[in-house]
Amino acid sequence: MGAHKGEALRAFVALDLDTISLRRVVRVAERLRIASGAPSASWTPPEMMHVTLQFVASLPVAAVDPVGRALAPLAEGKPAPPPSALRLDAFPSIADATVIVVELEDPAGAIAALAKEVEAILAAHGARREGRAFRPHVTLARLKRAYEAKRWLRQELAAGGGDCRASALTLYRSELAPTGAKYEALARFLFASP
């Protein structure tokens, strides 16, 4: 990569969804897009849907390989977190929505525990820890302006979606561009097949 001392990049570690789960999430997004009351929004393309475990605004380029080596044992040969049911939600709230998500239920805390391990690895390599509480989710859309989404985000639109499963743990580079962010997988580790 030809890194210079002090060079850094925007990065994040995420759970990639398996093919069937990704189709389920895309189907929920499509139902929302055509539902009555849908506001103007930028919709997440399927290839960019994932569950972010930890975002890093500035990861030293020299830390990319060591972080990848440290992440590998969290996934390779290990089972993925248990399947999760999906629930529609919004950030910062449904009453004042700007980001629409499907939140993954994590009753046993397996996804949250994995996120804590990832956070510790990144912190050991110079990344600043997140200050907000972790909520496992997939971003479906970013609204053009805040919206009261209670009537639009009806849970039946996510009903029958089935459970969501992760297939891999991935370290991504995120580059901002005028047309939106672009992601590049820097290291990917597959979970053991169920």
Chain segment 144-160, per-residue pLDDT in tens: 999 999 999 988 888 76
Amino acid at 163: D
Q: What are 61-113's pLDDT values in tens digits?
A: 999 999 999 999 999 999 999 999 989 999 999 999 999 999 999 999 999 99
- pTM, two decimals, is 0.91
Q: What is the mean pLDDT of the chain?
A: 91
Neighbours of 83 (CB within 10 A): 15
Question: 1 in a domain, yes or no?
Answer: no
The neighbouring-strand residues paired with 101 are 89, 139
- pLDDT tens digits, 109-141: 999 999 999 999 999 998 877 777 899 999 999
Q: Which domain holds residue 170?
A: 8-190
**Number of structural domains the chain divides into:** 1
Task: Tell me whether residue 3 is in a domain.
Answer: no
The token duo for 10 is 């925007």
Q: Which residues contact 160 (CB under 8 A, 6 or more apart)?
A: none
The CATH number assigned to the domain holding 161 equals: 3.90.1140.10
